[in-house]
């Protein structure tokens, strides 16, 4: 099978009925970027910038950040890269950030990601400058993590625009284009899609955090691993509600959580109308193979049926359907 997946490297993820989907990779360190060529992925849908901070004993200076971002863009070439601003705090506490938040009782839903970044804005200002400078003359995609309210997106974007203006005032080269997007991983945000979507260029569903918040089940606690299923009606119906509004608003919608890297889960997502997946590099071959074996409209019809009157074992029912349809 390895050989089969390797052979798929230069084959596009097109369904049998001719839909060109996008399969991108998640990355976080310089070496991860090699996965683009190894897998033939369409780009980096999620670059977790906090990895550079987490592996360093001291706060990475702006020049060092800039070098990393430039290297990533160099390797990616024409393929798009989406940089997520730092998702630190909570359980990813940085010792050099005064240890704030390290002793929170519920760090996953604590002072982390954008919440921390908007208050300690020196960190995100430096990151914004590093990203904008690194992308001079090229397209830049910026994604904000853990957005809970539309105004948080506005503030984060304004911070970036101010840094862009500063760089312009120095006559340094600007990116050819800057696109801004949000992660949807806090369920509350979905209730304000009508207010949020007009502001966005793209939206990416982070199913790792979204699932733990939707099911109130710690994603890192093995005792809970059997308590919820990515193929449950709750999460699938939740995601389905986002698809049409995003398309109507002209906002690119992707899924970037681990869910998208599992063939049956990815099949379900495609059946909900998700056309863009960003996944762990090792999953690119299997997911491409699955995509090339399906008829998208048949999968969509099946998901519609399954979600209208969900069977108790939706996973089993979808697996059975997949087996019968040569997936």
Contact residues toward ligand PEP (CB under 6 A) are: 46, 48, 87, 185, 206-209, 256-257
* Shortest distance, position 190 Cβ to ligand PEP, whole Å: 14
Task: Answer with the entry of ligand PEP, Mg ion, none that 13 interacts with (C-beta below 5 to 8 A by kind).
Answer: none
Please spell the DSSP secondary structure of 92-103, one letter per residue. Answer: B--TTTTTTTTT
Which one of Mg ion, ligand PEP, none is in contact with 48 (Cβ closer than 5 to 8 A by kind)? ligand PEP
Structure tokens at 283: 């999953």
Least distance from C-beta 89 to Mg ion, angstroms? 12
For residues 3 and 45, the answer to whether their CB atoms sit within 8 Å is no
Q: Which is nearer to ligand PEP, 90 or 285 (CB)?
A: 90
In whole angstroms, how close is the CB of 109 to ligand PEP at the nearest point? 12
The strand pairing partners of 82, in sequence order, are 141
Q: Which of the choices ligand PEP, Mg ion, none does residue 257 contact, using the CB cut-off of 5 to 8 A by kind?
A: ligand PEP
Measured from the CB of residue 117, what is the shortest distance to Mg ion in angstroms? 14
Phi-psi region of 77 (alpha: psi -120 to 50; beta: other; left: phi over 0): left
The residues of the shown chain that bind Mg ion, judged by CB under 5 A, are: 185, 206, 209
- Number of residue whose CB is nearest ligand PEP: 206
- C-beta closer to Mg ion: residue 66 or 82: 82
Nearer to ligand PEP, 209 or 302 (CB): 209
Residue whose Cβ sits closest to Mg ion? 209
Q: Name the residue nearer to Mg ion (CB basis): 66 or 141.
A: 141
Report d(CA 194, CA 272) in Å as an integer: 20
Note whether 142 and 160 are within 8 A (CB): yes
Which DSSP string corresponds to 48-94? ETHHHHHT-SSPPPHHHHHHHHHHHHHHHTTS-EEEEPP--BTTB--
Nearest-approach distance from CB 209 to ligand PEP, in angstroms: 3
Nearer to ligand PEP, 114 or 306 (CB): 114
Rounded Cα distance between 58 and 226, Å, is 38
Distance CA 49, CA 84 (A): 6
Return the DSSP state at 19. Answer: -
Give me the least distance between CB of 302 and ligand PEP, in Å please.
Answer: 25
- Which is nearer to ligand PEP, 80 or 206 (by Cβ)? 206
SS3 (DSSP) at 299: helix
Out of ligand PEP, Mg ion, none, which partner does residue 207 contact, by CB within 5 to 8 A per kind? ligand PEP
């Amino acid at each position: 099978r390895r050989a089969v997946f390797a052979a798929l490297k230069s084959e596009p993820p097109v369904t049998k009925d001719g839909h060109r989907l996008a399969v991108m990779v998640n990355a976080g360190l310089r070496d991860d970027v090699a996965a683009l060529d190894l897998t033939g992925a369409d780009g980096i849908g999620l670059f977790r910038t906090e990895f550079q901070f987490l592996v360093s004993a001291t706060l990475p200076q702006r020049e060092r950040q800039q070098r990393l971002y430039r290297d990533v863009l160099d390797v990616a070439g024409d393929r798009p890269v989406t940089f997520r601003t730092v998702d630190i705090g909570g359980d990813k506490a940085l010792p050099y950030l005064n240890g704030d938040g390290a002793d929170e009782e519920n760090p996953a839903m604590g002072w982390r990601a954008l919440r921390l970044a908007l208050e300690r804005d020196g960190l995100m200002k430096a990151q914004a400058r590093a990203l904008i400078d690194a992308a001079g003359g090229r397209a830049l995609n910026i994604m904000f993590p853990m957005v809970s309210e539309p105004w948080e997106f506005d503030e984060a974007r304004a911070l970036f625009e101010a840094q862009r203006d500063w760089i312009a005032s120095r006559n340094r080269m600007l990116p050819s284009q800057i696109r801004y997007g949000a992660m949807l991983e806090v369920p509350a945000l979905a209730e304000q899609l009508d207010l949020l979507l007009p502001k966005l260029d793209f939206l990416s569903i982070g199913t790792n955090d979204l699932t733990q918040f939707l099911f109130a089940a710690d994603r890192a606690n093995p005792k809970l691993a059997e308590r919820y299923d990515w193929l449950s009606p709750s999460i699938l119906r939740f995601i389905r509600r986002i698809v049409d509004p995003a398309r109507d608003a002209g906002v690119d919608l992707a899924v970037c959580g681990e869910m998208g890297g599992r063939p049956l889960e990815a099949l379900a997502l495609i059946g909900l109308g998700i056309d863009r997946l960003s996944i762990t590099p090792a999953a690119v071959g299997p997911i491409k193979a699955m995509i090339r074996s399906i008829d998208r409209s048949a999968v969509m019809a099946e998901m519609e049926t399954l979600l209208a009157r969900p069977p108790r074992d939706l996973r089993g029912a979808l697996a059975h359907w997949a087996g019968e349809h040569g997936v």
